[in-house]
Structure 1
Amino acid sequence: MAGRDLRVRVSERIADAGYAAGWTALRFAPDALARSLFDQAGAVVGRRHGGPAQFRANLARVIGTTPGEVPDELVVDAMTSYLRYWCEAFRLPSMDPAEAAGNFDLPAADRARIDTALDCGRGVVLALPHSGNWDMAGLWLVQHYGTFATVAERLKPESLFRRFVEYRESLGFEIFPLSGGEQPPYGELAARLRDGGIICLLGDRDLARQGVPVTFFGEPTRMPAGPAKLAIETGAALIPAHVWFLDAPYSMASCGEEIDVSGGVAAATQAMATAFERNIAAHPADWHMLQPLWEADWSAARRARLGEAT
């Protein structure tokens, strides 16, 4: 056990050092060089042994096939997209905020959905999956609406967690840490919504392991209750959003119709999952889900924890 703990601590320190090096070295590198290096790395990882097995299995659900039938080029494109996110993340702190936001587009009709809610004095919950560069989307929000609130997943070691919090705060985000990786700070987020503010929540991963059962691409999984619960409790508009990449350095987003939350948390969360389905299916290569998501892929330990919780 002691040996395993030591290996975990060493691995965490290596990860921390790697991210620190990325933010230090890449932020001032020429843009074309940095993007080329990350594109090449994505292609190599995507082609090696058919790409990460879980990544391929997740993509298989999206396009309705088996992992073995997922086109190799889709896996390569998806891994290249994932590394593009990291390339841009490492470089964002050194970029001019207005210039960076100028590379991001949200159609006027979609933006009107946000404005309509805010003009009525309502808060807005933007729920989105891990797709494209959500940090770039946040930077765009800051440039057009001022700050917004979001949460940060607890990472180990603490120094790595602090790096990510400081990075996003440097972009103008208001960050609330998840409490021990468990429950979001509902009280603080609800207060922002009652004040007519915006919060953004990534809604496709159930970090708390206590999410709402949903059907997603035809299979059962769970998604966090937070977006729907906050909208119901505060009267905020729950709007599904999506971000995807265009040719570098450009990105685009969409904001769908407000989700009806009158049927309760479970129905609203399923409606959110359905909205995610449509958008992910339209841009599968830009969905950065490398972890086990569906119940069929959960570990025995996670199943046991879920059984204890219920």
Structure 2
Amino acid sequence: MINWRMARYRLEYLIFRTLVCIVRCLPVRESVALAKCLAFFIHYCLPRKLTRYQVASENLRTAFGEELSEKEIEQTIFQMWVHLFRMVVEIIQLPRKLHRGNIYEVMKFDYPPELITALCSGRPVILLSGHYGNWEMAVSVFGLFGFPMGVVARELDNPFLNNWFEKFRQSTGHRAMAKSGGYDDMIATIERRGHLALLGDQDAGKRGLFVDFFGKPASTFKSIALLALEYRAYICVGYSRRLPDHFENRQWVHFELGCEQLIDSTQCVSNDPVGEITQQFTTALERAIRKSPEQYFWVHRRWKSQPRVCAKKKRLSESLPEKKAA
């Protein structure tokens, strides 16, 4: 019998590899134009229910309130799609375009000297970022500089695509680790005083730790702070943010690789160290996102979960009109 699921996976992979071949052959300007065309199609041609426009616009209102008009919100979401398609193009082109010989032409660095000290200290470092900028670019740069890491990411459903991305990360010396079921690998790496790279900006559910993110409680994974405290690890809240293009002077793109905050878990003296560290890295990520909001993936339901007290109050407030009506 034909395995239709595997047949679909193979077809998806064939389409993806065809796209890879096309994108690798495109000059930089044409690849940017392709990304803008795809973003225009997604944003203006598809039904907004499919593109999660409502989720993105609500998230932007939650984050910025009256700072952004409706027109600015729509433009930010369009630019978000442009950025995401450009990021896909850059990931495909990265193995051929980025190397040690041109790294200072492509990247502008903004980090404290203490970061290098931390990476060479013999203590583990957790490189923490969010779905902001080109996070794959940041990880690749650390690999090129000789700092291999365990890269924690969700496995893709398509095994052929998942294998391609694993090889892509391994090409700069890193090791891919599954977000689901890979906890033992993470512990083993950090026990060997190795480094981890992961994203920490998704909703952690009702059991997560609620800390302020853009002024509103957001459920956040507390395992990051727990790991840092138990194994005396540093947390580097980093980002790789796209800077304005100057194709006349540069052969490729231009990014700023920054460390928004370096957190030393051994220096935390709070009565609630897990809460304190979790709030610190969440606030640092917020500061980074404010620099270029259009480069953040706003379609995630970051504030999906609510604190139990708030949820209880909401249910009570909804039941009052019903009792009055009765």
- Classify the TM-score, shorter chain: 0.7 to 0.9
Question: 1:114: how far off?
Answer: 1.6
Higher mean alpha-carbon deviation, 91-100 vs 62-71, is at 62-71
> 1:131: Cα distance to partner?
0.9
Large movers: runs of 4+ above 6 Å: 8-11
Q: What is the CA–CA distance in structure 2 between the aligned matches of 1:70 and 1:212, rounded to whole Å?
A: 34
Residue deviations 1:48-71, cap 9 Å, x none?
A: 467741233323333224998251
Question: Superposition RMSD on alpha carbons, in Å?
Answer: 3.1
Classify the secondary structure of the residue corresponding to 2:278. Answer: helix
Question: Which among 80, 84, 87 is matched to residue 85 of structure 1?
Answer: 87
Is 1:228 paired with 2:225? yes
Tell me: CA distance 1:257–1:66, structure 2 relative to 1, closer, same or farther (3 Å): closer
Report SS of the residue matched to 2:261.
coil
Report SS of the residue matched to 2:210: strand
Where does 1:253-264 land on structure 2 (aligned, <5 Å)?
A: 253-259=257-263, 261=265, 262=268, 263-264=272-273
Q: Using the alignment, how far apart are the partners of 2:59 and 2:11 within structure 1?
A: 27
Identity, % of aligned pairs? 23
Instruction: Tell me how far apart the structure 1 counterparts of residues 294 and 259 of structure 2 sit (CA, whole Å).
Output: 19
Give the conservation status (yes or no) of the 8 Å contact 1:62–1:281. no
Note if 1:250 corresponds to 2:254.
yes
Q: Residue 57 of structure 1 contacts residue 66 of structure 1 at CA under 8 Å; is this kept in 2?
A: no
Match of 1:73 in 2: 75
**Following TM superposition, by how much is the alpha carbon of 1:113 offset from its aligned partner in structure 2, in angstroms?**
2.6
The equivalent residue for 2:289 is 280
Moved more, 34-43 or 191-200: 191-200
- Give the number of the structure whose alpha-carbon radius of gyration is greater: 2
Alpha-carbon distance in structure 2 between the residues aligned to 1:148 and 1:245: 23
Cα deviation for residue 10 of structure 1 reads 7.9
C-alpha deviation, 1:130, in angstroms: 1.0
- Aligned residue number for residue 97 of structure 2: 95
Equivalent pairs counted in the alignment come to 287
Matched-pair contact (CA < 8 Å) for 1:124–1:239: yes
Whether contact under 8 Å (2:204, 2:219) holds in the other structure is no
Instruction: Say whether the 8 Å CA contact 1:129–1:203 is kept in structure 2.
Output: yes
CA pair 146-158 structure 1, distance change in 2 beyond 3 A: same
Please give the alpha-carbon distance, in whole angstroms, between the structure 2 residues aligned to 1:226 and 1:97: 34
CA–CA distance in structure 2, aligned partners of residues 160 and 87 of structure 1: 15
Q: Which secondary structure state, in structure 2, belongs to the residue aligned with residue 259 of structure 1?
A: strand
Asked whether the equivalents of residues 43 and 78 of structure 2 are also in contact (C-alpha less than 8 Å), the reply is: yes
Q: State the shift of 1:40 in Å.
A: 2.6
Going from structure 1 to structure 2, the CA distance change for 1:112 and 1:184 (only over 3 Å counts) comes to: farther
CA distances 1:87-120 after superposition (whole Å, capped 9, x unpaired): 101212333422563312222xx15132122343
- Out of 277, 293, 302, the position equivalent to 1:293 is 302
Is contact 2:260-2:285 (8 Å) kept? no
Q: Provide the C-alpha distance between the structure 2 equivalents of 1:274 and 1:192, rounded to a whole number of angstroms.
A: 27
C-alpha distance after superposition, 1:148-188 (max 9, x if no partner): 2211212212222222212222233211123xxx3542x43
Give the TM-score of the pair, scaled to structure 1.
0.79
Question: What one-letter code is carried by the residue in structure 1 that aligns with 2:277?
Answer: A
Q: Distance in 2 between matches of 1:238 and 1:36?
A: 37
Distance (Å, rounded) in 1 between the aligned partners of 2:24 and 2:101: 15
Tell me if the contact between 1:26 and 1:90 (Cα under 8 Å) persists in the aligned partners. yes
Q: Which runs of 5+ in 2 are unaligned?
A: 246-252, 312-326
Residue 256 of structure 1: SS of its match in structure 2? strand
Cα pair 1:46 1:80 within 8 Å, conserved = no
